[in-house]
Amino acid sequence: MQFTGLFETHITVSVKDLDEVEKLRQWSADRGLQCLHILLDRGVTPSQPMLTRWGDRLTLG
């Protein structure tokens, strides 16, 4: 089975502190990626920086 179309790839990244999140934002912007920083109120991993990439010429299967 194959799927063709627009796909999003998400990668959650581990960073040391908020300064590292800002460096990640710049790094991702320079490469055409989106950086999203999810902050939870509680949990084992409340800080969850994530990179997103879109592709419209992909086939998964």
DSSP-assigned states of every residue in 1-61: --EEEEEEEEEE---SSHHHHHHHHHHHHHTT-EEEEEE-SSSS--EEEEEEEEEEEEEE-
Residue with the bigger pLDDT between 29 and 57: it is 29
CA 35, 21, 38, 60 torsion-angle sign: positive
Average pLDDT for 23-39: 96
Answer yes or no: pTM beyond 0.85: no
Note whether 6 and 52 are within 8 A (CB): no
